[in-house]
Structure 1
């Protein structure tokens, strides 16, 4: 009952909890940077203000790069949908029967002009850009709240850590609290900095590849690859489908859509199978199945923002488990497979089962 109630509260309080969680995660990520600047004689308030300004500038740069192309695509969505259907119909002859059947059903279900006693109800199409404009103030308010709270958290220095150590009853608990906090900082900082650099490289690679293939707005696809890749697995799938859909409209030959999607998939596969495991996997060893489930769970709760914060929250929880004896087994379960320990344990388990 407590678990169900907790999930319900987290889902219901999304508008408040999302900026709070983002602010605390970002504060732990950039706390080492702020602490380094403190040692160089820069006041915490000045360094915190500079960090927040840089984050806002980065966010606005990404939003500006995506705003115009995405708004154009959304505005022309009906026209694009008709073009996609037309090209798919031309490329796949077996779909012609399906479209013809759909049109016949549509003709049969529509009232005849001579039936004057039948009232026809027509729902006016709502402009998608209007809907986005109505949602924009709430989204901007949450981001503003996130950055303001982040500024206060960074400018307060290590006050929260000092309070945490102060309330711990024993010296052992104080040391454990300090290890947990600094462990979370170290893991999150390494993860975010490394994954940001990897995503930037992927964005540049995708942008250059789209430019060489003659895709429209290749810079936009580079930004999409950079942003989407912060979401494990699902982000790559979304980028592949986006590139393939635009290629289907931009080129006359249907095969170009498969080529563009294949190139995008190849670049993300290289990044996911070789680059990220080499640079990130050695520092953050988390079970890939658990990562996928965490992304799906938080996406269900908090939609797009949940997918972004899923891995940092999982890393935070795993760090807690690694430093608390009672949760050590759970932390080991969340970790990836250790060949030197898991395989002998499995063999011993099979031996015991047979005996």
Structure 2
């Protein structure tokens, strides 16, 4: 009787634990869904805030270097933000004219592109014609029974004005918040340290915070420098090849290079389309996209490993998932911030023992696998021990 009572109690305890585990999983799933929905709703607020933190982190090495020469952080931060505003404004002003011209010439570019791919156009035209016939039949049937309701859409000018106002507001918040972050110096670090009571915890927290800040700032500063080099090389090369508005394509290459793999593919496709429309010789029109491909290969294989090293290399699968998720959530701006956010997550995970396995999953580094065969008793098979050693 006592044994049965013990078994019943053990079974009841196991059922309680399973129930709690299932409840925690359900609550965790609900929390993740609500978090994603909250990120989507707050994108207009979080986008400039995250951009400001990234800009401040990128410029923080310069502020620290100038502080060694007794330049106050307020002065250096103000000068850097003013220079950043001037640079971004000058680039935006210089590219606005050519970009507007390219948008106005989009129908002509499309017509020339159709002429160059006439064989493909025939198949597409047949499919479009069949689709139009189906649509006409459906419209004729629906007109006899129902009445169409047309909802007026906002005009192009009003939408452009709204987008321009949104971009201007985002940039203003980004620069102002970046100025405050850079000028504050170590105030946030002091606030973090004050939350701990023990001296050992204070030292550990300060060490972790400085490690995270140093690695993130190094990554963002270096990758921005690399992307500028790529943009300059691409712009000069396309100008020598004869691509119109080469400066615009150099700026586009700089921005798109923040998207690993995807950005290079987009740049190659867009440049290939412009090159195909610009040059009559089909073979010569392939020079521009081939040149961009060569530049990105050289950058990925030599320049980035030389300046950045292998420590912050990311898993390609994680990069694609991150770009897809943030572009779905926040659009193109989210796609640009996807990889820097992933690097921030990896650096934070590497500095905490409990999160180290997830940081290892994000890494592209594969620790060497050492296989050792142990001899066993005669007549039995050897057992292979596989051990991974972290380098």
The TM-score with structure 1 as length reference comes to 0.85
Aligned length: 342
Residues in 1 aligned to 2:205 and 2:332: alpha-carbon distance in whole angstroms: 31
* 1:82 aligns to 2:111 (yes or no): yes
Moved more, 76-85 or 146-155: 76-85
Matches within 5 A, 1:179-194: 179-194=207-222
The equivalent residue for 1:198 is: 226
Q: C-alpha deviations, 1:326-349, integer Å up to 9, x for none?
A: 112222222222343xx238999x
Residues in 2 aligned to 1:127 and 1:95: alpha-carbon distance in whole angstroms: 31
SS at match of 2:90: helix
The equivalent residue for 1:36 is: 65
Counterpart selection for 2:263 from 235, 241, 247: 235
Residues in 2 aligned to 1:25 and 1:224: alpha-carbon distance in whole angstroms: 20
Which structure has more RCO (C-alpha within 8 Å, separation ≥ 6)? 1
SS at match of 1:344: strand
Moved over 6 A (4+): 117-127, 345-348
The equivalent residue for 2:4 is: none
Residues in 2 aligned to 1:47 and 1:130: alpha-carbon distance in whole angstroms: 39
* 1:132 aligns to 2:160 (yes or no): yes
- CA apart distance, 1:142: 1.0
Cα contact 2:114–2:121 (8 A) shared by 1: no
Moved more, 263-272 or 118-127: 118-127
Counterpart selection for 1:282 from 301, 304, 310: 310
- CA apart distance, 1:130: 5.1
SS at match of 2:313: coil
Residues in 2 aligned to 1:187 and 1:314: alpha-carbon distance in whole angstroms: 13
Larger radius of gyration: 2
Matches within 5 A, 1:158-197: 158-197=186-225
* 1:154 aligns to 2:182 (yes or no): yes
- CA apart distance, 1:172: 3.0
- CA apart distance, 1:55: 1.5
- CA apart distance, 1:52: 0.8
The TM-score with structure 2 as length reference comes to 0.78
Q: C-alpha deviations, 1:77-134, integer Å up to 9, x for none?
A: 2332222122211xx2x642442453466478559xxxxx989999999765653332
Change in 2 beyond 3 A, CA 1:218/1:32: closer
- CA apart distance, 1:162: 0.3
Matches within 5 A, 1:253-292: 253-292=281-320
* 1:24 aligns to 2:61 (yes or no): no
The equivalent residue for 1:336 is: 364
Change in 2 beyond 3 A, CA 1:104/1:331: closer
Q: CA RMSD in A?
A: 2.9
The equivalent residue for 1:246 is: 274
Q: C-alpha deviations, 1:242-269, integer Å up to 9, x for none?
A: 1111112212234443332222212112
The equivalent residue for 1:114 is: none
SS at match of 1:338: coil
Residues in 2 aligned to 1:347 and 1:207: alpha-carbon distance in whole angstroms: 56
Residues in 2 aligned to 1:347 and 1:77: alpha-carbon distance in whole angstroms: 66
The equivalent residue for 1:50 is: 79
The equivalent residue for 2:170 is: 142
- CA apart distance, 1:41: 2.1
SS at match of 1:238: helix
SS at match of 2:370: helix
Q: C-alpha deviations, 1:140-174, integer Å up to 9, x for none?
A: 10110111111111112211110100012333332
The equivalent residue for 1:2 is: 31
Residues in 2 aligned to 1:151 and 1:347: alpha-carbon distance in whole angstroms: 60
Cα contact 1:187–1:283 (8 A) shared by 2: no
Residues in 2 aligned to 1:77 and 1:182: alpha-carbon distance in whole angstroms: 49
